[in-house]
Amino acid sequence: EALLFRDLLASVDTPLTNNAVRTKNIEIAASMLNETILLPGQEFSYNGALGERTEEKGYGPATAYANGELVEEVGGGICQLSSALYYCCMLADEEILERTNHLYYQTYLPLGMDATVSWGGPDFRFKLKDEYPILMKAWIEGGQLKTEIWGTKLDDSYVELEYHVDYTVPHKTVYYEHKNVKSGKRVITDYGRDGMQVTTYRVRYKGDGTLIERVTEAVNVYSARDQVIVVAIGERPKK
């Protein structure tokens, strides 16, 4: 019993945005995940643990991506927690059963380390292969989402995560005209993101730093998103 949840297996802090509704959604999700115990051989489902995200549960509409479009979705933002948990699961060397990267790359974690979720799918799932149970913790503090996995280490081996950008696809810039924009002014409504393919690796080491193996974790393909600039009527640049 003294061995239970003795060791911090993995942790990560990810920065929150200044969107109060999005932060509240993440706080609710974190409170539902916090103190969850998983037994050896047991499978964990993020959607199963949180259930459907509804206004009755306190979730509000916040920015999310659906089919490549920027939308307001109830529960928007909780992918930050599923991503942080995925990151910790890799560091803790757990078995990933289901994980999908976002349509566009995210900035709160290293490239290729995110996990998007939505009610009805996709889901994030993993299986505990350890001999002892684990305890998952998640809470908000100081503008950060803090995520941890506690368990029992039986040796001094450890995992590091790496990524490689295989190629990039530069984003385009599109212009729109609007009567509310003054002449000579430009309003950037979306800074855009480059598309890319990113390969991630799980690298296992002995306690003395000797490499055990370097295995491919996932090949992530992110789409490019246009930069959007709004100008005055008649001032769209000529192609």
Q: What is the mean pLDDT of residues 38-50?
A: 97
Cα–Cα–Cα angle for 146, 27, 219, rounded to 5 degrees: 60
pLDDT in tens, 164-218: 999 999 999 999 999 999 999 999 999 999 999 999 999 999 999 999 999 999 9
Q: Tokens representing 147?
A: 């995520």
Calpha distance 83→81 (Å, rounded): 5
Q: Is 120 exposed, middle or buried (0-12, 13-18, 19+ CB in 10 A)?
A: exposed
Angle 67-101-82 from CA coordinates, rounded to 5°: 105
Q: Tell me, letter by letter, the H, E, C secondary structure of 14-83.
A: EECCCCHHHHHHHHHHHHHHCCEEECCCCEEEHHHHHCCCCHHHCCCEEEEEECCEEEEEECCCCHHHHH
How much is the pLDDT for 69?
61
Is residue 70's pLDDT more than 90?
no
Please report which confidence band the pLDDT of residue 65 belongs to, taking 50, 70 and 90 as the band edges.
low
The average confidence (pLDDT) of the chain is 95
Instruction: Please tell me the pTM assigned to this model.
Output: 0.94
pLDDT higher than 70, residue 67: no
pLDDT of residue 92: 98
Mean pLDDT (whole number) for 78-91: 98
Cα–Cα dist 153/157, whole Å:
9
**pLDDT band for position 130 (cuts 50, 70, 90):** very high
